[in-house]
Structure 1
Amino acid sequence: MSEPYDRMISRREILARASGGFGAIALAGLLAEQQAAASTADPLAPQPPHFVPKAKRVIFLYMTGGVSHVDSFDPKPLLMAGHGKSITVDNWQGKKGAFQRFFKRPNWEFRPGGRCGTEISDLFPHVRDRADDLCVVRSMSSDHTNHYEGTLGMHTGSFTFARPSIGAWVSYGLGTENRNLPSFMVIAPAAPYAGTQTWAADFLPGCHQGTQVVPGPTPIPNVRPLISVEARQKRELDLIARADRRHLAERPADAALEARIRSFETAFGMQNEAPQAFDLSGESDTTLALYGLERGQTTGFGWQCLVARRLAERGVRFVELIDTGSSGNWDSHGDMQDHASLAKKVDRPIAGLLTDLKQRGLLEDTLVVWTTEFGRTPYHEQAGHAGREHHHQAFSSWLAGGGVKGGIVHGATDDYGVAVARDRVHVHDFHATILHLLGLDHERLTFRHVGRDYRLTDVSGEVVKDVIA
């Protein structure tokens, strides 16, 4: 007997009826995944880690463009002495064959810092003073020599396709400690290479994507403190929420709608919390001086660093700072002296951040990460050229706080900084270690999408246990 025409048949039911055999099984699996993802009561609720964590939160300092390792954190005396000598490079920049290149000396002297004596160049004298807090990784390597792919890989673990960013994965794995602020925030004047994919949630629930804050007098223009309108606005948002949830009940797999509901809820809470977080008027002159800030200043990397500390105090799980701006980035093809002005703008603020966190007892459970997408070549195709090219085969990053051994160096490159010589740390290993410090097993932190379990580290990655205290 046929069913009456006035019976409402959902799109899902039509698809289920129309499918058969293995197609029906596959469809049922996909729908079950969507249903499970959408039925989570509160995706931002605090989640238990897989094991006892050493860090509760991350401040991720990203230097976009490719900082030269041999001019900053990886001293090479032989490169100094070998300036102008020729070298044969195989497979240069992905091109097959042998190429003649010429060594280029570092532009800055290296000196020991702290009691540990870790050598850091004159590019970062203030950071060098904090050497006892740093675990410098001199054996980083990546899979791609282009900015877009290198940036995407450092943020998502994928060098070719858009995937959820590390901040989104951390938010998904641990939730938030403060529902009145996003769990993942990005403070950046502009997006780096790879654009907003660097903080996107991709197939994870949309509430885990990064919220960008642009330095300036009104970093979040549409968020203002609640005064007399609070009760009325609360009623309006409650009405919208009830309508959205009725709609969601009929379409439980609508991830975009679920993200929209969460964004309304967070936005309402932010109206009181966010203005307080960005209001630096209560900070002492001593604290402002640590970051190289003048009272009333609302831009610059010092402002980004101080706001990051304030957000960390307020329970934001992952804060990323990106140093894009009108001064360009670290892609110093033409002249390495570009590095000098860029380093001057970030060196003191970064050291100030480490000092401030330590003084407040926050560095113990806050993991500070400093990195870039790749290094720069220790040589150039022209003898005497002032710049350097991209170099993904070897570069430097560092970690501080959050359960990391301070005052050590992990790994090494060869005598000229061309290739990793010992204890290679791939980007996947780097990510696995960050997650481990947060109490997350990178192999267990997965999300099922279109029939496959995905993770930040793809199908590889090893925790670098030697750097963990």
Structure 2
Amino acid sequence: MGHQHTDPFRLSHPDLEKLNRGLDRRDFLKKTAMGFGAIALNGLLASHQAQGQSLEQQILDALPRIAPKAKRVVYLFMSGGPSQFETWDYKPELTKRMGQDLPDSIRKGQRLTGMSANQAILPVAASAYGFRQYGQSQTWVSDLLPYTAQVVDELCVIKSMFTEQINHDPAITFFQTGHQLPGRPSIGSWLSYGLGSENQNLPAFIVMVSKDASKDQPLYARLWGNGFLPSEHQGVQFRSSKDPVLFLSNPEGYDGKDRQEMLDYLKQLNQLQNESWGDPEVDARIAQYEMAFKMQTSVPEVMDVSDEPQEVFDLYGPNSRDKGSFAANCLLARKLLEKDVRFVQLYHQGWDHHDSLPKNIVNQCKQTDQATAALIMDLKRRGMLEDTLVIWGGEFGRTVYSQGKLSPTGYGRDHHPKCFSMWMAGAGVKAGTTFGQTDDFSYNIVKDPVHVHDFQATLLHLMGIDHEQLVYKYQGRRFRLTDVHGKLVKGILA
């Protein structure tokens, strides 16, 4: 796929000039086999003679000093904001304060949403569910997550996440793109751009949305979009329908030979256009057409789970045979990771529990708990967890107080961006640990805060990328996933 080039270290000076004009960024990074660090090539090409140092040496000096821990990522995004009180942040003191107004000394005048700002009191709500300690790490886990509790020694639970975004769409957009406003590239697109793909027959970035989740908050395709990066880096959504990828099947009356002939002629036309205009999007279009043709064979193959033994379906749970369910998507994610897909993202909606939380969160956990744990176990037994990064979490947390009327089984929780929990596991992560600490109300962070940009910087680091160096110039500004923020969270690294 793409254009073939001679090793850039062996080119003559005229060839270097041609390379500087014509070689697209991702293609060069891939061909160097050294990864992302050669992004400084353009500057080096312009200045290597003046500095009196060989071009080869300057390129080698510019290469990254980060050894990647992860080859691939699977990100389980729990859309809607899972409550930390019913999952990972055990707060036994709240039982004594049940129904009491949230103290001003805890709230500290922090912003509330319009849904609870006018409440006369903010009644503290203890979780209706118990917690127990599991594993050698003795990590506290909710009774709602019995399967994940069994793999807790593989997890690094981060209890001190925080964000500035208090509403769903900007908060999810912020997590996925590094900015609360639409238009920026998503995490998977940045990784596709910076690292390319190790599988030439499948996209580097694949997305699946659970069909069995409550659609309480909408998800938009821009969450896995390429933004201003070349369009070949956008996420490709796999669906549970007859055609997993839209427009992938041949039109009626066409076969594979017809398709190939059409693509060959189309490629010639696109190349003529590219010679005239030099538009990089033409190269991206050619690459997408070529990928679509290859996917006609590769997608049906990877979507076919008929050869999986019954033991695997038992591991992932009863819904794992139901295409499009969270459990089935977790199994499919494992197959995609085996095919060296760089970034797989699963979205599961339904975590926005403003009322009837004790009842609704039970269903959410039943849909996701077993398959999540199964994915961890399946990756580990196949020797893949050591170089696969697994992520679980939502866009923010929930409030300690009940939104609206409080009863032991009838409370709800509003949005809370000031502290919430998520976890990471696998490649390069310190397993069996808990990082960060919140106060007795899980309302404020008291130790080791982790901002969304810090999480993004750490994710890139585990993939062998310095987040400050993965940049793209657009409309006169150099953009990056972490914007102008973010620091490495060293405390969670193995």
TM-score (ref. length: structure 2): 0.82
When residues 172 and 99 of structure 1 are mapped into structure 2, their CA distance, relative to the original with a 3 A threshold, is farther
Aligned to 1:405: 430
CA distance change for structure 1 residues 246 and 58 in 2, over 3 Å: closer, same or farther?
same
- Aligned position for 2:378: 356
CA distance in 1: counterparts of 2:319 and 2:82, whole angstroms: 27
1:93 alignment counterpart: 112
Aligned CA distance change for structure 1 residues 37 and 406 (closer, same or farther; 3 Å): farther
The amino acid of 1:244's aligned partner reads N
Contact 1:139 1:413 in 2 (8 A): yes
Q: Provide the residue aligned with 1:11 in structure 2.
A: none
Does 2:470 correspond to 1:445? yes
Give the C-alpha shift of residue 299 in structure 1.
Answer: 2.7
Amino acid at match of 2:386: E
Amino acid in the other structure paired with 2:137:
C
* 3-state SS in 2 of match to 1:93: coil
> Residues 157 and 456 of structure 1 are in contact (CA less than 8 Å); yes or no, is this contact kept in structure 2?
yes
The residue number in structure 1 matching 2:79 is 64
CA shift at 1:99, angstroms? 7.2
How far apart, CA to CA, are the structure 2 residues paired with 1:426 and 1:294? 35
SS of 1:159's equivalent? Answer: coil
Indicate which of 453, 457, 462 corresponds to 1:432. 457
Structure 2 partner of 1:106: 127
Deviation at 1:303, TM superposition (A): 0.6
> Does structure 2 conserve the Cα–Cα contact (< 8 Å) formed by 1:80 and 1:105?
yes
Corresponding residue for residue 136 of structure 2 = 115
Matching residue of 1:42: 27
Q: Retained in 1: the 8 A contact 2:208–2:347?
A: yes
Structure 1 counterpart of 2:14: none
2-structure distance, mates of 1:377, 1:41: 43
Q: Distance in 1 between matches of 2:148 and 2:277?
A: 52
- State the partner residue of 2:267: 241
Tell me, in whole angstroms, the C-alpha distance in 2 between the residues paired with 1:427 and 1:405: 19
Q: Secondary structure at the match of 1:42?
A: helix
Contact 1:38 1:253 in 2 (8 A): no
Matched, 1:187 2:213: no
Q: What is the CA distance between 1:231 and its match in structure 2?
A: 3.3
Distance in 2, matches of 1:264 and 1:449, equals: 25
**1:81 to 2:102 alignment:** no
Aligned counterparts of 1:64 and 1:222: Cα–Cα separation in 2: 27
Using the alignment, how far apart are the partners of 1:296 and 1:383 within structure 2? 40
Alignment of 1:201-350 (within 5 A): 201-220=226-245, 222-223=247-248, 229-253=255-279, 255=281, 257-293=282-318, 296-324=321-349, 329-336=350-357, 337-350=359-372
CA contact (8 A) 1:135 1:400 kept: yes
Identity of aligned residues (%): 38
**Aligned mate of 1:152, from 173, 185, 202:** 173
Unaligned runs of 5+ in 2: 1-19, 37-63
Deviation at 1:269, TM superposition (A): 0.8
1:106 alignment partner, SS class: coil
The letter of the residue matching 2:183 is: A
Decide whether the 8 Å contact of 2:132 with 2:143 is kept in 1. yes
Bigger Cα displacement from structure 2, 196-205 vs 39-48:
39-48
1:403 Cα deviation after fit: 1.1
Deviations 1:417-463 (A, max 9, x none): 01111100000000000000000000001111111111100111111
Secondary structure of 1:289's counterpart equals: helix
Tell me: CA distance 1:186–1:271, structure 2 relative to 1, closer, same or farther (3 Å).
same
Letter of the 2:156 counterpart: C
Please state how far the C-alpha of 1:235 moved relative to its aligned partner: 2.1
d(CA) in 2 for partners of 1:112, 1:217: 44
Aligned to 1:54: 69
Q: Deviations over 1:280-336 (max 9, x none)?
A: 001011111111146853231111001101111111100000113xxxx11100111
Q: CA deviation at 1:366?
A: 0.4
2-structure distance, mates of 1:295, 1:62? 18
Measured after TM superposition, the shift of residue 250 of structure 1 is 1.1
Secondary structure at the residue paired with 1:155? helix
- The count of residues paired between Structure 1 and Structure 2 equals 429
Q: Which amino acid aligns with 1:407?
A: G
Give how far 1:185 is off: 0.5
Instruction: Tell me, yes or no, if the aligned pair for 1:38 and 1:258 is still in contact at 8 Å.
Output: no
CA pair 346-97 structure 1, distance change in 2 beyond 3 A: closer
Aligned alpha-carbon RMSD (Å): 2.4
> In structure 2, what is the Cα distance between the partners aligned to 1:454 and 1:40?
15
Task: List runs of 5+ in structure 1 lacking aligned partners.
Answer: 1-34
1:416 to 417, 424, 441: 441
Corresponding residue of 2:47 = none
Q: Report Cα offsets for 1:205-258 as digits up to 9, x if no partner.
A: 111110011224442254459xx9333322221111111111122121252x33
Question: Residues of 2 paired with 1:170 and 1:141: CA distance?
Answer: 23
Cα gap change, 1:456 to 1:295, in 2 (>3 Å): closer
Deviations for 1:119-152, whole angstroms, at most 9, x for unmatched residues? 1101211011110000000000011110011000
Partners of 1:178 and 1:314 within 8 A in 2: yes
- Cα distance in 1, alignment partners of residues 290 and 318 from structure 2: 33
Compute the displacement of 1:59 (Å). Answer: 0.1
Distance in 1 (CA, whole Å) between partners of 2:167 and 2:95 is 27
Distance apart, 1:77 and its partner CA: 0.8
CA contact (8 A) 2:355 2:403 kept: no
Farther off after superposition, 257-266 or 278-287: 257-266
Distance 1:333 1:383 in 2: 11
| Aligned AA (1:246) | L
Distance 2:404 2:176 in 1: 33
Measure how far apart 1:91 and its partner are.
2.8
SS in 2 for 1:333: coil
Change (3 A) 1:251 1:334: same
Greater mean deviation of Cα atoms: 272-281 or 184-193 = 184-193
Query: CA, structure 1 residues 70+262, in 2 after alignment: closer, same or farther (shift >3 Å)?
Result: same
Question: How far does residue 98 in structure 1 lie from its aligned partner after superposition?
Answer: 11
Cα distance change on mapping 1:43 and 1:340 into 2, 3 Å: farther
Distance in 2 of aligned mates of 1:184 and 1:378: 36
